[in-house]
Structure 1
């Protein structure tokens, strides 16, 4: 992770800068690319540049290139992710300082991990701080070089003996492995026999397979096993912002108009608060069930800088000054929160997750009080409120009174959080959240809030929109709008050249549910995501982040209210057209029959209307010509029996023996 601190270098506007001094919100920069000229910028200016992907922390450009080629962690095979988590679990006590340098050798010996291998993992982590660097590489020697059947037998031994409660030494378990291999080999030929492995190899495989939490549950009980997994139950004291962030969700005590259905429904409100200052950090609103996608969107809003207030919500007086990566996130034990997908995203960003015990709201009292404040102070006094309980609600018609749209609700929440909650004095903390946040920076100049090297790194880790699309000439379509770029068209050309099967030309698309102005498309040839911009921004007048619910609302508003009537009208028009064609067909057949029976065609008028037969079109005494008239003069009028179709010529073969060319009459 990267921060704006003295000595930090970054690239901006094709120049390299180094931060020389920070005084409050003013940052003194040295332009290393242009005679070391000193410039002064505001912190807000630099954050806006980072948010627009126009500022990239220098760090190591080769590191950035390598990081781009790493596959998305959540989409990797589960075995690879599990091994990466195991390696991180081994590294973490050393990274956190719980295991001192002098204790590392003994620590690794107890785990059965090689010293060389450990330092290879640590070096990779120190370079990128991204769990994806710990994913096993497919190249080189593979664990599959050892017999897969042996690993399967070890799994059976561990499952049978390690979770029963008794103590079994590695030597005895290795002996059990040898016994089972011997029994299997007795029924095989010499070529098919399984080779046993050494006890050292056995210990390594056992460490990969064993679930220590299950072992602790049997031996120590669930309470102690949970304590060992999530830490101590005593209150955790915080000393700085973002050290501990509490996130939770609940159905809001108000009914809003769901743009997808047009009905009044209760939305789910996901909310995050900083424990040290009590400052609201971010939120997310959805009418869907709360899942990993919603949690990731809330975390993305928490971390991102929020300079959009004046442009989007001009009635908000104060600035929303919070941003940055939390050190620890506290969640309750709901199953949605324990999703591996969310854990993987946090691991990728270096964020620790702590889960509270069942029915232990006191462990996340900050967020619980935050919900009560919003409900009691605002939601319960708004149109469409559901109140806290049926007794309080009485005969109030929540659904009938509901009139607030999702856009208005989001606007109102910004007013509540930024202009009220963040500015309200707390006797316990002895200050307002905004003051405490600012004072923490003033008293500790070295305190900074981490960001990823680029804004794209953060979005790709947390944005939850995921779809598979075919790259068309107009780009890829997401929520009824096309997205395109030169890089995407280059990818399309390569896909068409490589794959003959159309199904193989589909690509993975990632997008932010709270900002649909751009999407990210996986480029399998370059090994990283490329960006595509919505092509309809100018047409639709979109200059601000567009929520997915706004797109659904626009889609609902564009729905034809007279669709059924229009369908019937089209069917009636098609029916009339068919009748006209049938009339023409009957007239033509009649003329052809008469021409076959008669050697001479009766003289017609000099002028015929071609195209509509058997109908008179007139307005008063003046005829209305709907098509161009065909002039036919008697002296060169063609014989109709000689202009029939080839099929008619075959049917009337006997009459064709004496036919004469029309031009011969001249």
Structure 2
């Protein structure tokens, strides 16, 4: 997309342009599903777009920033027209389409006009909306001219996702040039006819949701499963600890839970460090890619930080307790020493001192003991 975005953790950093994957219903031009990412399209982009397209938005799955009541579009496509990108040829995607009886059709080489509807849709979003955002790169350098896209850039990826969800709502309510009506009105009119039934609803939405989640293979250790620098644990993992690697599915929009395949059933496993701030998978990837200022040795895990504070407090308390004990011991020794010195009224050091007689030679013949004694001045 023709827009430069900034990093969440540091708005002075430009992280690049977002990528959009979208599924459109050709008959009504309704956008059934889409996925935004800061990275080139992958199987995750395809899976998330397809899952969102087929599930009702009010089920809680694939929830968007806009209100779900304004997004009543869903359904199983009979045919899915795609280009020949590697992510569309993935065996995982093809298996999911076969499971839900979707016929895939790939664009013939050299026949770019076969994807004209999607190209025009994206072009409409660019020219009518994105090119008016701060930081747009326009479609080419001639259009951009002297406009400084990096200097004018203002939105973060999270903010752009919220903006785009609202823009989809605006698009659905805007009259389409070829239809002569808005995509929303075209959708409602199509299903007002008694000949056309409402879109088929998935019997098991949860199963469909899981089918289109990204997955990875992970070992189960004593402390659970580690994924994307987060730890997940449940007592249900105890019986498969250390046995083998298992299939783990995760939701790019909610990293607080994962689903682990145990005996051909997916079990929900929560994140252990619940105090950690929630971030989506895309935010995690952006932070890992662009946050280069964190020096080696920096502790970023909340559990580790909490334990470091506990250890520091323990050492400080130990130092304070030892210091108090030393002071108390010195006071007891000092009190005992002074008590011994005061026992005879004369300091023990003076009483026991041996004074050599040679140091005090007095000529008694010159002393007149009949005179009254005279006090010496203290300066003498």
Q: TM-score, normalised by structure 1?
A: 0.42
Question: Among 475, 491, 495, which residue is 2:240 paired with?
Answer: 495
The answer as to 2:294 corresponding to 1:548 is no
Residue 549 of structure 1 and its aligned partner are, at CA, apart by 2.0
Residue 565 of structure 1 and its aligned partner are, at CA, apart by 9.8
- Whether the 8 Å contact between 2:220 and 2:240 is mirrored in structure 1 is no
Q: Partner residue of 2:153?
A: 402
Query: Superposition pairs for residues 264-343 of structure 1, below 5 Å?
Result: 264-307=15-58, 313=65, 319-343=70-94
Q: CA RMSD in A?
A: 3.6
DSSP 3-state at the match of 2:95 = helix
Distance 2:287 2:140 in 1: 34
The answer as to 2:2 corresponding to 1:253 is yes
Distance 2:236 2:52 in 1: 32
Residue 363 of structure 1 and its aligned partner are, at CA, apart by 1.8
Query: Superposition pairs for residues 117-266 of structure 1, below 5 Å?
Result: 252-258=1-7, 262-266=13-17
Question: Among 246, 249, 256, which residue is 1:507 paired with?
Answer: 246
DSSP 3-state at the match of 2:118 = helix
Distance 1:556 1:628 in 2: 56
The answer as to 2:112 corresponding to 1:367 is no
DSSP 3-state at the match of 1:383 = coil
Distance 1:484 1:411 in 2: 32
Q: Partner residue of 1:440?
A: 190
Residue 380 of structure 1 and its aligned partner are, at CA, apart by 1.2
Residue 467 of structure 1 and its aligned partner are, at CA, apart by 4.0
Distance 1:565 1:343 in 2: 43
Distance 1:359 1:372 in 2: 20
- Whether the 8 Å contact between 2:57 and 2:68 is mirrored in structure 1 is no
Question: Among 348, 351, 375, which residue is 2:102 paired with?
Answer: 351
Distance 1:404 1:482 in 2: 31
Larger RCO (CA under 8 A, 6+ residues apart) = 2
Distance 1:371 1:312 in 2: 19
DSSP 3-state at the match of 1:442 = coil
Residue 471 of structure 1 and its aligned partner are, at CA, apart by 4.0
- Whether the 8 Å contact between 1:422 and 1:434 is mirrored in structure 2 is yes
The answer as to 2:143 corresponding to 1:392 is yes
Distance 1:471 1:403 in 2: 43
For residues 574-601 of structure 1, the C-alpha deviation after alignment (integer angstroms, 9 at most, x for no partner) is: xxxxxxxxxxxxxxxxxxxxxxxxxxxx
Residue 295 of structure 1 and its aligned partner are, at CA, apart by 1.1
Q: Structure 1 residues 428 and 288, CA, compared in 2 at 3 Å: closer, same or farther?
A: closer
DSSP 3-state at the match of 1:336 = helix
The answer as to 2:264 corresponding to 1:527 is yes
DSSP 3-state at the match of 1:482 = strand
Question: Among 216, 224, 232, which residue is 1:466 paired with?
Answer: 216
For residues 454-478 of structure 1, the C-alpha deviation after alignment (integer angstroms, 9 at most, x for no partner) is: 22321232111424142444x4233
DSSP 3-state at the match of 1:368 = helix
Distance 1:351 1:260 in 2: 41
Distance 2:290 2:82 in 1: 38
For residues 3-42 of structure 1, the C-alpha deviation after alignment (integer angstroms, 9 at most, x for no partner) is: xxxxxxxxxxxxxxxxxxxxxxxxxxxxxxxxxxxxxxxx
Consecutive aligned runs of 4 or more in structure 1 exceeding 6 Å deviation? 553-560, 562-566, 630-634
Distance 1:438 1:386 in 2: 36
Q: Structure 1 residues 551 and 445, CA, compared in 2 at 3 Å: closer, same or farther?
A: farther
Residue 552 of structure 1 and its aligned partner are, at CA, apart by 4.8
- Whether the 8 Å contact between 1:260 and 1:553 is mirrored in structure 2 is no
- Whether the 8 Å contact between 2:48 and 2:213 is mirrored in structure 1 is yes
Q: Partner residue of 1:481?
A: 230
Question: Among 190, 199, 216, which residue is 1:449 paired with?
Answer: 199
Distance 2:327 2:108 in 1: 83
- Whether the 8 Å contact between 1:349 and 1:461 is mirrored in structure 2 is no
Distance 1:551 1:319 in 2: 29
Q: Structure 1 residues 505 and 332, CA, compared in 2 at 3 Å: closer, same or farther?
A: closer
- Whether the 8 Å contact between 1:259 and 1:549 is mirrored in structure 2 is no
Q: Structure 1 residues 495 and 335, CA, compared in 2 at 3 Å: closer, same or farther?
A: closer
Query: Superposition pairs for residues 393-432 of structure 1, below 5 Å?
Result: 393-418=144-169, 420-432=170-182
For residues 366-391 of structure 1, the C-alpha deviation after alignment (integer angstroms, 9 at most, x for no partner) is: 21110110110111111111111111
Distance 1:381 1:532 in 2: 43
Residue 396 of structure 1 and its aligned partner are, at CA, apart by 2.3
Distance 2:184 2:198 in 1: 16
Distance 1:289 1:558 in 2: 19
Query: Superposition pairs for residues 583-622 of structure 1, below 5 Å?
Result: none
DSSP 3-state at the match of 1:629 = helix
Unaligned 5+ segments in structure 2 are 300-320, 338-380
Residue 332 of structure 1 and its aligned partner are, at CA, apart by 1.3
Q: Structure 1 residues 447 and 312, CA, compared in 2 at 3 Å: closer, same or farther?
A: closer
- Whether the 8 Å contact between 1:260 and 1:552 is mirrored in structure 2 is no
DSSP 3-state at the match of 2:189 = helix
DSSP 3-state at the match of 2:187 = helix
Q: Structure 1 residues 391 and 554, CA, compared in 2 at 3 Å: closer, same or farther?
A: closer
Query: Superposition pairs for residues 38-187 of structure 1, below 5 Å?
Result: none
Distance 2:115 2:174 in 1: 20
Distance 1:403 1:282 in 2: 26
Aligned length: 309
Residue 356 of structure 1 and its aligned partner are, at CA, apart by 1.4
Higher Rg of the two aligned structures: 2
DSSP 3-state at the match of 1:396 = coil
Residue 259 of structure 1 and its aligned partner are, at CA, apart by 5.2
DSSP 3-state at the match of 1:431 = coil
- Whether the 8 Å contact between 1:518 and 1:532 is mirrored in structure 2 is yes
